[in-house]
Amino acid sequence: MKALDELTFDNRFARLGDAFSTHVLPEPLDEPRLVVASDAALALLDLDPAVAQTPVFAELFSGHKLWEEAEPRAMVYSGHQFGGYSPQLGDGRGLLLGEVYNAAGEHWDLHLKGAGMTPYSRMGDGRAVLRSSIREFLASEALHALGIPSSRALCVIGSSTPVWREKQERGAMVLRLAPSHIRFGHFEYFYYTKKTEQQAQLAEHVLNLHYPECREQPEPYLAMFREIVERNAEMIAKWQAYGFCHGVMNTDNMSILGITFDFGPFAFLDDFDAHFICNHSDHEGRYSFSNQVPIGQWNLSALAQALTPFISVDALKEALGLYLPLYQAHYLDLMRRRLGLTTAEDEDQKLVERLLALMQNSGVDYTLFFRRLGDESATLAVARLRDDFVDMAGFDAWADLYKARVARDGEYSEEQRRVRMHAVNPLYILRNYLAQNAIAAAEAGDYSEVRRLHEVLTKPFEEQAGMEQYAQRPPDWGKHLEISCSS
């Protein structure tokens, strides 16, 4: 275990030079205080959980103090936002403080979001509010606990600094961790500005640090792109299987590592709804729940375009062709497991689709359905669950197919079925209304609810004593919350 002043820095991105980022110092928040910290994220830096309680911790992650070896930089990138190209984006309110490596040799970017204005702030104030910082913190740690690749969050620091959004709020900072903060948009920036030399430097950097195994391949860049395609297919399959809606899948929000990144008006589905749009400024539904699958491919095509200086168009097209079949294979594999199946049959895809259509029509709670399906034998579970469906005859027909399928799947005890299914079907997810409750308390100065919710979400598959209230459908007020897109 290390003390806070014992972190070991190795700022590889900063060393790429001024064409890639600009030196900017964080602008401190007033009266910093710890809102919440993640012990699991602290462990990634070999830090003792107790350090989060020290005053210097809040000072470090609110811009008051900085390690000598840190080299805070605002990164430049661009990207396609809602389908249109924005030529100049960048860290408008976040700073890469530096890269730290831990005892296991892993590198982690320390990225402070809400750290003040940078050359890329455009019309923004460089700040983040408490509400959106808490949401990013909870989402990062909750997704990770579900086994969905994501950036991580070390802590949220609150303050008394006023920040104007629709109304006056308070500024906060969230410290984000990821092995890299390089986005699809980084490659697009150097491609569209025709800075070929820097683009090659960036490609080398990503290849060497994040895809070293691709070096062994005959065409390393192509191998790297293929790997990015594969990781995105897998990540999005997990989003779809667990009902996660990202909300702003612009290419500047897509990580080059295939991890969930840049949380905005995201949501987990309560009722199953394929057409769900969590982002209220997304009037066309470009980033609706079911559109995330084709948009994943669209975004990869945008990255492919930016890689045309290095890889032939035919090879890029072929690699892009891997996306959908890989997505489908991952998705179906996960959904089979969510249904408690251990073998594969051709008709399984239809079994899943029919179930989802029934859930859609009846507004069935997506998370609780699968959890309850694993509570008891298939026969008993479907008999209990049928009450949730408006089209009971339709559900009965599905249940017959399902029971027959389970019978063909193999012999196992009810206990084996429960253990296996509960290990992939969470009881607790980050429902919008739960986040909202925690945020309301935090805005009033009480951080206990954020901390409790975070604790619960770190073990989403384990039933936790006294935490029943976190495993419920939303109350009426919490069903269709409009989550502000300003953050």
Annotated binding site: 90, 92-93, 113, 125-126, 176, 183, 253, 262
Q: Is the CB of 92 or the CB of 394 nearer to ligand AMP?
A: 92
Q: Which residues are annotated as a binding site for Mg(2+)?
A: 253, 262
Is 90 a binding residue for ligand AMP by CB under 6 A? The answer is yes
Backbone angles phi, psi at 161, to 5 degrees: -65, 120
- Least gap, CB of 130 to ligand AMP (angstroms): 13
Sign of CA dihedral 230, 231, 235, 238: positive
Residue with tokens 């089209």: 391
Does 91 participate in catalysis according to the annotation? Answer: no
CA distances from 453 to 42, 50, 151, 367, 448 (A): 18, 20, 19, 17, 9
Q: Is the CB of 91 or the CB of 273 nearer to ligand AMP?
A: 91
Q: Is the CB of 120 or the CB of 402 nearer to Mg ion?
A: 120
DSSP three-state, residue 90: strand
Is 271 a binding residue for ligand AMP by CB under 6 A? The answer is no
Site size with ligand AMP, rule: CB under 6 A: 15
361 and 390 in contact (C-beta within 8 Å)?
yes
Within residues 259-278, the interface with Mg ion by CB under 5 A covers 262
Q: Is the CB of 191 or the CB of 225 nearer to ligand AMP?
A: 191
Which residues are registered as beta bridge partners of 9? 100
Q: How many CB atoms lie within 10 A of CB 273?
A: 18
- Least gap, CB of 93 to ligand AMP (angstroms): 4
> Among 21, 86, 251, 253, which residue sits at the site for Mg ion (rule: CB under 5 A)?
253
Angle in degrees, CA 297, 120, 302, rounded to 5: 15
| Residue window 214-253: x/- pattern of binding to ligand AMP, with contact defined by CB under 6 A | ----------------------------------x----x
Question: Which residue in the list 91, 252, 273, 282 is annotated as catalytic?
Answer: 252
Is 299 a binding residue for Mg ion by CB under 5 A? The answer is no
Token pair recorded at residue 52: 């989060």
Q: Is the CB of 125 or the CB of 333 nearer to ligand AMP?
A: 125
Q: How many CB atoms lie within 10 A of CB 399?
A: 21
149 and 118 in contact (C-beta within 8 Å)?
no
Longest dimension (CA), the chain: 68
456 and 470 in contact (C-beta within 8 Å)?
yes
121 and 91 in contact (C-beta within 8 Å)?
no
Is 151 a binding residue for Mg ion by CB under 5 A? The answer is no
Tell me the window of 19-27, 30-38, 116-124, 327-335 that interacts with ligand AMP (CB under 6 A): 116-124
- Least gap, CB of 125 to ligand AMP (angstroms): 5
Binding site for ligand AMP (CB under 6 A): 89-93, 120-121, 124-127, 248, 253, 262, 264
